[in-house]
Amino acid sequence: MNTPRIVITGIGVFTSIGHDRRAFWDGLTNGRSGAAPITGFDTTGYKSTVAAEVKGFHAEDYLPKKRARRMARFSQLASCAAQQAVVDAGLDPASLSGERSTRAGTVIGTAAGDYEHLEKQHATLLERGPGYGHPLAVPMIIPNMSSANVAIDLGIEGPNIGIVTACSSGAHAIATAAMILQSGRADIMLGGGAEAAISPLTVNAYGCMGVLTSRNDDPTGASRPFDRDRDGFLIGEGAGVLVMEREEDARARGAEILAYLSGVGMTADAHSVAIPEPDGVAAANAMTQAVRDAGLNTTDVGYINAHGTSTGANDRTETIAIKRAFGDHAYRLAVSSNKSMIGHTLGAAGAVEAAATVLTVKHGVLPPTINYTTADPECDLDYVPNTARDAKVAAAISNSFGFGGQNCSLLFTPE
């Protein structure tokens, strides 16, 4: 039996540069940075004081006020992005509930959960002792609530899974949603990721690891993937959700097909809890698996949406992995990092960047890597520096690599 082809029919996205796919795409293709000083807490004494926050987002604009108050910010972002994606796909959100609800499902990735609420509840416990705290603290904090709340708000009673694989969570969620569709267990899947972890504990912890940028006097120039002078990642927040269907079902209802999810690759470094395997073997294998899964040759791939975090180790290792996977063709590929504009959205990154890759193959435009000013001899590929580029590509890969060496590559092709 032939494996059903999976298509993307809707996108919902909230980032620091746009609150829907059109604004997001406009920001990416115009090289707009969403970085600014952190506004959520006093950053005095912190190594990094800049971030890519989703400014102007008010959950009450999309959800009933009482409902919004009972959800953590990462869940709010997930639910709002999911509802947006459903409408973008030409579906009535109400149509996913009722008798049809078991034929729809959700898989949302989140790396952290709600650290901000966790910190506040811990402070309350220390200050006031046992018996004081928010009665919904646990369901607000735990990471699976991004997927659970999407299902609750849309009335979806089919497969519902929360994925936690660090910074590859969103990509693994999309891959898992595709496999559920191919298995016949659902007809419509929402796959994506959400994160809102710009909190004192998180920013301090990443700062202590030495992985955050300290370019605090130049927020919009702080994230500079593959540039020689990169000094760490810019923490971000956001959500991205894709509506995914089997091609035959999407065509039967007359849906617009934005792109095909044609290949998936998933591997593990099995090397370190935080440092990528320096030879890039497993990361390269994820890319070659995705190409093979799509039934393509490596020379068919024209663009890679890189994980590209703006850390020394990641960007160097990803460049090595790309050259290992594609050989001489690596020097004919275009590679760019959305994180130069939207920062590192952690568990949402794989989904938000997958959405960008879908739009790349649909529109034939490659988003740039901004802030690329000084070449690094160890990063010697074409990183689409500073300005978007018109280029039709037959296939594009979105890479996501998480702490612990959890790798996922998604390959998209145009209709």
CATH 3.40.47.10-classified regions of the chain: 7-252, 262-413
Flag whether pLDDT at 389 surpasses 90.
Answer: yes
| pLDDT computed for residue 99 by the predictor | 67
Task: Count other Cβ atoms within 10 Å, centred on residue 364.
Answer: 13
The predicted model gives 103-126 an average pLDDT of 95
Q: Phi/psi of residue 50, each to 5°? A: -125, 155
Flag whether pLDDT at 100 surpasses 90.
Answer: no
Task: Count other Cβ atoms within 10 Å, centred on residue 281.
Answer: 16
Question: What are 272's two structure tokens?
Answer: 């370190």
Q: What percent of the chain stands above pLDDT 90?
A: 97
DSSP line for 82-147: HHHHHHHTT--GGGGSGGGGGGEEEEEE-SS--HHHHHHHHHHHHHH-TT-S-TTHHHHHSTTHHH
Question: What are 77's two structure tokens?
Answer: 């972002």
| pLDDT computed for residue 97 by the predictor | 84
CA distance 342 to 339: 5
Going edge to edge, which strands form the sheet with 334-336?
160-163, 104-109, 188-195, 238-246, 6-14, 259-268, 406-413, 396-402, 303-305, 334-336
Domain 7-252, classified CATH 3.40.228.10, yes or no:
no
Q: How confident is the model at residue 213 (pLDDT cuts 50, 70, 90)?
A: very high
| pLDDT computed for residue 262 by the predictor | 98
Question: What are 96's two structure tokens?
Answer: 């996913």
Question: What are 228's two structure tokens?
Answer: 């020689």
Domain 262-413, classified CATH 3.40.47.10, yes or no:
yes
- Catalytic residue numbers read 167, 307, 344
What are 148-201's pLDDT values in tens digits? 999 999 999 999 999 999 999 999 999 999 999 999 999 999 999 999 999 999
Distance of CA 106 to the CA centre of its chain: 16
What are 299-343's pLDDT values in tens digits? 999 999 999 999 999 999 999 999 999 999 999 999 999 999 999
Question: What are 59's two structure tokens?
Answer: 């959950």
Helix (H, G, I), strand (E, B) or coil at 245: strand
| pLDDT computed for residue 23 by the predictor | 98
Identity of the residue numbered 389: R
CA distance 6 to 165: 23
Which is more confident, 237 or 98?
Answer: 237
The predicted model gives 379-406 an average pLDDT of 98
Instruction: Fill in the DSSP letter of residue 398.
Output: E
Flag whether pLDDT at 376 surpasses 90.
Answer: yes
Q: Which helix (H) or strand (E) holds 285?
A: helix 281-293
Question: What are 203's two structure tokens?
Answer: 């920013």
Q: Which candidate, 371, 69, 326, places its Cα nearest to that of 227?
A: 371
Instruction: Fill in the DSSP letter of residue 255.
Output: P
Residue tagged 């959305």 (tokens): 338
Q: Which helix (H) or strand (E) holds 335?
A: strand 334-336
Cα separation of the two ends of the chain: 22
Three-state SS letters, 8-58: EEEEEEEECCECCHHHHHHHHHCCCCCCEECCCCCCCCCCCCEEECCCCCC
Identity of the residue numbered 146: S
| pLDDT computed for residue 121 by the predictor | 95
CA distance 295 to 289: 10
Find the length of the chain: 415
Q: Which bin fits 23, alpha (ψ -120 to 50), beta or left (φ > 0)? A: alpha
DSSP line for 145-211: HHHHHHHHHHT--S-EEEE-BTBTHHHHHHHHHHHHHHHTS-SEEEEEEEE---SHHHHHHHHHHT-
For the purposes of burial, counting CB atoms within 10 Å of the CB of 399, is it exposed (0-12), middle (13-18) or buried (19 or more)? Answer: buried
Residues 6+ apart with CB under 8 A from 249: 187, 188
| pLDDT computed for residue 1 by the predictor | 54
